[in-house]
Every structure is written in structure tokens, then in C-alpha cells.
Amino acid sequence: MAKLIDGKTIAKDIRTQIKKEIEELKQKYSTFKPHLSIIQVGEREDSTVYVRQKERAAKEAGIEFTLHKKADSITENELLTSIRELNDNPSIHGFLVQLPLPSHINKKKVTETISPKKDVDGFHAINLGNLAKRDCEALFLPCTPKGIIELLKRSDIEIARKNAVVIGRSDIVGFPVFTLLSRNDATVTLCHSKTENLPEIVKTADILIVAIGKAEFVKGDWIKPGAVVIDVGTNAIKDPSKQSGTRWVGDVEFSSASTVASYISPVPGGVGPMTVAMLLQNTLESAKRFLQEARNRNFSLLSLKLLSPVPSDIDIASAQIPKFIKTLAEELGLAPNEYDLYGQYKAKVNLSVLERLKSRKDGKYIVITGITPTPLGEGKSTTTMGIAQALGAHLGKPTFACVRQPSQGPTFGIKGGAAGGGYSQVIPMDEFNLHLTGDIHAVVAANNLLAAAIDARMFHEKTQSDRALFNRLCPAKNGVRSFAPVMFKRLQKLGINKTNPDDLTSEEVQNFVRLDIDPDTITWQRVIDTSDRFLRKITIGQNPTEKDQTRVTGFDIAVASECMAVLALSTSLADMRERLGRMVVASSFDKGEGIKSITADDLGVGGALTVLMKDAIKPNLMQTLEGTPVFVHAGPFANIAHGNSSILADKIALKLVGIDEGEDREESGYVVTEAGFGADIGMEKFFNIKCRISGLIPDAVVLVATVRALKMHGGGPDVVPGKPLPEVYLKENLEMLEKGCENLIKHIQNAKMFGLPVIVAINHFITDSPAETELICKKAIEAGAEYAVPSSHWEFGGKGALELAKSIVKVTNSSTESTKEKFKFLYDLNKSIEEKIEVIAKEMYGADGIQLNDKAKEKIQRYTDQGFAKLPICMAKTHLSLSHDPTLKAVPKGFTVPIRDIRASVGAGFLYPLLGEMQTMPGLPTRPCFYDVDLDTETGRVYGLF
């Protein structure tokens, strides 16, 4: 008699091994949760039985299981949509659609819609095709064929050099088994119901696999004595002796075959249990593959073709062919539902990534700042890109650069683009500098909707009675009044706890509908993303229909809008909604009850603003010239706002380059984020505003300096955009440079006040002499910098910033969590408004003190009365000097900072004192950059951006 191949026992052993491996992996990685999902269409009894078996087996093995039951009437499109949802769900590692399906649904289309990466049944054409190709490996083997091979191997049955016959050519069993036996070096014959002389062919088989779907089709006298028989069939035949009236038999006549064969698999209890065990094994392998891919983060890189002299920025950017952003997203481990493509080279990343990766430890966090710059800028963006390229493309560290989106103001005005420069840029450079994904347009739309709401509300309050206003704000629909959801915020502010508009008293109605906005207190202006000096002050309401409601107002550049500052400082969509709603736009007339602040939610527009900006909150994914990832997000003005890219971009990037349990901290990647203007502005606001809200603490500060700027601080002539540099900046002058290093030393001292290590990056120009570079390094180290490194990333890309990147690695690898514990804010939020302003002026700028004019004093009192005194301070001052006066270079002494006004960005979450005259709407120079910008109408290529 043949020896039974006990599939039940073997499957049980395999399931035990799977359970043990899952438990071990869960101990090492707490987030490791293999997840199997099944879609079952209809209520077929046999399908329900099979699904229950799989569910029970999965749960016993420690695999999470989800069943999605669909009605028989489901349309094909609805089913395909459900499949795509599971494809996109990163928590699902494998799923299948239980067969058979209703006749109106195309099985092939269903099978091909399942992602090959989650096709644990192994039925997808890609997996079957790769199985058939000798030089390819399928991600998944079909469960039954895989189980058959496992049965043979675990029964110590040799496959190599044996003659094997497979009866049945289905994609589910016959064809894959034929291929697997061949791969295991058997000589295989594939037969089917129409094969001639089948008994004679079967007689040649050392190993016989039967999957033809016909009860007891193969007889014992067909079988070669001593052959191994694997019976895949499951057929119900009538049997009055059974209580059910039927019994299950295979495709082989067991009674006769078992007397000839050496081994035989029974039915039931042979192949069936192995199919379920292999499904669990495929699910486990898929979960392990997803885990490994998330940990690997291997980026394909782009090589640079370095030219000398270095071409223009746009020529360099146009010569590089970016990789598809979908490829980069996959390299980052993003699931398809975690990003939205905006063309081939841009994508928005969804905030859901933060929830999925919440248990991952953040990567290392580096903030890039600079000394007090010349009007040309000193290359912080270029340095940011160079460092990111060096860390990512040359040192192999997972690295993200995070930068702001540039405004069209400087792009077409004085500075030009802000994508970096030379061989250290974001690409595509033209898309980066222009509309990108429309975030700035969304800010413009939201800002101007709020501006329109302010003037419209004043108009309607002026021209209508309380009752008329109330009837229009809360109209009766089918005889029933109701409050819009946003109105409850206004009611709560007034202390009215009623939910039915008809229950309000006349006094409550008046308080509810009358905002009584004092036009002289309106701080909200309209915005446009173009430098246009003639919009700085305008008169509105001149048409007769506005009933003489004219007032003087103006336009700001779009990135100066508080909506943009809110976007950058929001930590979630819900947080952005709250911040937009609480933006203060004006104050009410004082009627003896105190002046009340008027918010966007008082105007009922907070929700609409959020709707306009709901996509803008998602960071924009791009890449550097060398193919490393970049987040471009938000663009708050660096003078009146905080001048940093978004918290959400930094948070998501830190998770994407972070480490999981069991990984060494040295394996974590880097997020290189840039703070606008010099360290006295961008860095100070980064720490005291952005870090307070985000809760993030950097590992190090990189301070960018140039010989050019330091010579200017040492007494060099003015640097004027559009004019050639004076000769002193092109020749060695150590005396002037040493004097100017005072500015560098002050900025190093400022950074050290926050308790973090400082690395000085000397952005190298070809006119810099070795002696000049050596002098800066010496002064920087003496001032307390850990390293001072010249970097030629503009000329050589990441390769040129390699030593700078290595210094960052050294500093961050030697630091520990205790290093971050040394971090401290510059001031306590509980200090008075005046005290906080004074601390910044004295400590950061080196001032003797501050001088508040009467308007600033009145604002301090008002904001204190209104409960805004504990907000951080965002100083609005010139970026061209440590002081408030742009003509004072190096490290000014003996000066007092005049505070002419203080304004509130309550939604963003700060107060901003105005130091001197601050323009929130730039003007165009005599020769704007737009003279050079044009389009090749034949190729569609943009040129002239720089």
C-alpha cells in the first residue's frame, strides 16, 4: 500500500512555523502586523465555508483578517473600485477575491486589477508570467501549486531528474505546477483531457500530479509501480451511506491507485490544507517584503554632467532628465493612496502618512541659516540642495530637503528663482519657480475671499436693520430656521448657548448680527502674487452701489498673507481649520464694553477658507538634480511672518527618513530644512515660533557664510542687484574680511544660545582665495562652531558639499538625546509682550534696548486685554542688518530698536512688531527679471529663469 502524504499534518507544521515567525517579528517590530483581506461576492455556501477556513487559519497564525462582503448585485465597476482601495491601503499586505464570481463580472479583469504586490493567490498575469520565465521570480506562487511542491519536499521525495506528468492545464494549478516541477529539474509532460494515449503517458511518470476536475478519472492500472501521486481534485459524488448523502473523492481512483503508488495524497486531507497554509505563507512573505521596502529606502540617483564654466541655472536644470515622481514616491515607501500626481514630476503627499508611520522614530533634523546677507543672498537654498545631494546621492543617507515655495514677486522681480543654483537645484526648476501645484493661488483665493467678506459685512450692517440681517443670515427653510455650523463659534464667543435661532432675544440677535467693525482697525488686506508698488495703497468702494462706503486699503504680496503663515504652521487639517477661523481681521467699535477682536469665524468664512486650502496643506514632492527627494511647501514672508517651510513637510520627511525599532540611530536619515534670511530673523523665528508649535528640535545648525558678505560687513562698498560687484569683492583682502567676521561670530553666538551645535558652511566662490577661506574657518572655530567647511556645491553639486555633509554626519552621530535636552528657547511665553520684544532685541541683535511709540504701547495693552499676550513674537525687520537699520553692517553697537507698531497674526499664532518701515508689497526694479524669461514655442522649454 502507498504511504499517505499527510497534508493536514504538514500544513499544521507550516502554520505553526508561520505563527512563531510572526511572533518573533512582532517582538522586534511592534508595528509588524501581517494583514490578509478577502472580498466575497454573494452568499454561495461553498465560498462561505472556504472563507471561514481561511479566516480561522489566519487568526490562529497571528495574521489580521478583514472580510469585505459584497452583494451578488454589485457592479463590476464597484468591485474594481473596492479592489483598488485595497491596493492602495498600506495596512493590507495581501488580499484575494473569492472565486467563483457572478456571471456578469469579468474574472480576468478582476484578477488583473489586484496589485501584483498583494496578489497572494498568485493569479495575476505578471506573477504567472514571471513564474514562466527562467530568469525571473514571481512575487507570489499560486497557493495550490506551491503547496504541492512543499508536500513533495517535506515528504523527502526527490524531484530532480524524475519524469513528471501533470494532468490539467489551468492557470490555477496545472500550468504553474508544470513550471515549478521544471524549475526543480524534473522532466515534465503537461497533459489534459484531450491528450491522446493518456494512460500510456501517465505510465511513464515517477511523479504524477492530477488536477483535471473529473471524479476518479485516473485508474490504478495507469500508474507506474512506485510512482508518487498527488491528487488535487475535490469532487462530490453520491453516497447513500453518508449522512450528507455525498462523499468527497479526488481525480484519482484512490482504491486502485494506492495499491500501486509508493506515495499518495488523500482526498480530503492532502492538498487542500496546504493551499490554505501557502496562502498564509504568501501573506507573511508579503508583509516582510513591505517591511523591508519601508526600511531600505534605496533611491535611484541621477548623474550630473558637470560643465565648466557653469551654465545658467535654467540651462543646467533643463539638461537634466528627472525621474518620474511616481518612482521617487515608491522609493520613499509611499503607498499609491498616499500621494497625488501633478503631472510627471510633481506630487502632493497626503497627511495620512503621519498616522501610518507614527511609531517610527524621526530622522535627524538640520536647520540651514545664514549670516546677514547682501541684497543678492548668500546661497542658503543652494547650500540646502548641495547638502541634500551630498548626504543622499554620495553618502547614501536617506535625505530630504525642505524648502519654501518661491513667490512670483522675486521670481520676476530682482532675485529671480529660488530653486537653488548651479549644480545644486530643485527640478524641474521652471515648475518650481512658477505655479507649482497652485498652493499660492489657493492662499490668494482664501485671503481675498476673507477681504471681500469684511467689506460686504460692513456694507450690509450699514444698510439693514437687526431683524433684516438676522433673517438673511438665518433664513427659514420650509418654515424652520437653523444656524450654520460656523455660527456656533460666534454664539459661543458671545456666551449664547442656544441652538434654535428663534429662541434668541432681541439683544442677543443684535449682538449676533452686528460685528460693528471699526474700519480704522482693519488689518486684513487683499493680496496678489506679483510685485506691484502701485497697489500698496488703494481706495475701494468708489462705485455708487457701495453707498459711499469708501476706505483706504492696499494689497500685499501673496506670501505675506496670514493664510500662508497659517499653512506653514498648521500641524493637521483640523488645526488649519481652527487657525484660519481665529484669524483676527479687525476690532469692533468701543461701545463701553471693551474693544472686541473680529475673526474670520465671526464673519462665518473660516470653513470656506479651509475648503479653498484643503489641498494646499499637502506638501509638494519634487527632487534635486541628483534625484534625492525635496518637499516644497508654503512660502511665508520672512520679514513679517516666520519665513520657514511648513511644519507638516518637516514632520512627514522626518518619518520617511526615520528608523524603525531594531535599527541603529546611525542608520536614520536627514531632513535639511531652510530658515529664511539671516539667523537673526529666520533661525530665531524657526526656534521660538516653529519649534514651539511643532515640538521638533534640530540636531544641528548649519550657518551659511560667504567671503563676499563678510567683506561687505568689514567696510566694503554696497552690493547692488543688477550692477557688477566692486573689485574689492573679487580680490583677496584679509583685513576687510577679518573685520567682517564679527558678523559671523555674532550669528554663531546667537545659534549657540539655543544650545545646539553649529557648523559653518562657507559657500565657495571661484574668486575666494585659500587664505580667505582659512581665515573664516579659524574665526568660526574660535567662536564655538564645531566645524567650518568650504563647500563648492554650486560648481560640483553634491560632490562639492561632501566634506560639509561628512561634518554633519559626525556632529549628529556623536550627539545623543541629551544633546537635544540642552536646547532652550530664547524667552518664556509668560513674559509680557514688551519683555519678549526686548529679549530678542538685546540678545539677537545686540541692541541696548527698545523704544515703543504710543501706537505700539496702545497695541500692547489691547492685545493683553484680548488675551493674546502669551503668543510668541515675530519681529518684522530688515534682513540687511542685525539692527533695524539696513545701513548698519557688521555688528552694530549702542543702538535702540524703535517699535512703531505691533500687529497680531492670531491664527498663525504670533504677534509681529514693526521695526522701521516694512514693505509687504515689493516693487519692480527698472530692469526686472522678466526681461529674460520667455518660452521656446516649438519645444515648450522655458528659458531665462535663474
| Residues carrying an active site annotation | 54
Q: Is 755 left (phi over 0), alpha (psi -120 to 50) or beta?
A: left
Amino acid at 845: Y
Residue 789 backbone phi and psi in degrees, to 5: -135, 125
C-alpha span between 458 and 461 (Å, rounded): 5
Instruction: Tell me, rounded to whole angstroms, the distance of Cα 452 from its chain centroid.
Output: 33
Written in H, E and C, the secondary structure of 737-773 is HHHHHHHHHHHHHHHHCCCCCEEEEEECCCCCCHHHH
- In this structure, the number of other CB atoms found within 10 A of the CB of residue 466 comes to 16
The answer to whether 149 and 170 have CB atoms below 8 angstroms apart is no
Question: How far is CA 786 from each of CA 98, 779, 815, 820, rounded to the nearest angstrom?
Answer: 62, 12, 12, 16
Q: Kindly state the cell numbers that stand for 65.
A: 483578517
What is the per-residue DSSP string for 470-526? Answer: HHHHS--BTTB----TTHHHHHHHTT-----GGG--HHHHHHHH---B-GGG----E
Q: Kindly state the cell numbers that stand for 551.
A: 476706505
- DSSP, res 850: E
Q: Kindly state the cell numbers that stand for 485.
A: 455650523
Q: Residues of 65-81 as b/e, b for ≥16 C-beta within 10 angstroms?
A: bbebebeeebeeeebbe
Q: Kindly state the cell numbers that stand for 217.
A: 478519472
Q: What is the CA radius of gyration of the chain?
A: 35
Q: Give just the sign of the alpha carbon dihedral 277, 283, 289, 294.
A: negative
In 3-state terms, what secondary structure has residue 569? helix
C-alpha span between 585 and 905 (Å, rounded): 9
What is the per-residue DSSP string for 193-216? Answer: TT-TTHHHHHTT-SEEEE-S--TT
Write the CB contacts of 591 (distance below 8 Å, at least 6 apart in sequence).
516
Q: Kindly state the cell numbers that stand for 237.
A: 459524488
Q: Can you list the positions of beta strands (E) in 590-747?
A: 597-599, 620-624, 629-632, 670-674, 700-705
The answer to whether 788 and 780 have CB atoms below 8 angstroms apart is yes
Q: Can you list the positions of beta strands (E) in 300-390?
A: 339-341, 347-349, 364-370
Instruction: Tell me, rounded to whole angstroms, the distance of Cα 658 from its chain centroid.
Output: 13
Q: Residues of 247-286 as b/e, b for ≥16 C-beta within 10 angstroms?
A: ebbbbbbbebbbebbebbbbbebbbbbbbbbbbbbbbbbb
Tell which residue, 565, 617, 632, has the closest CA to residue 403: 632
Question: How far is CA 570 from each of CA 647, 666, 907, rounded to the nearest angstrom?
Answer: 7, 30, 10
C-alpha span between 612 and 452 (Å, rounded): 15
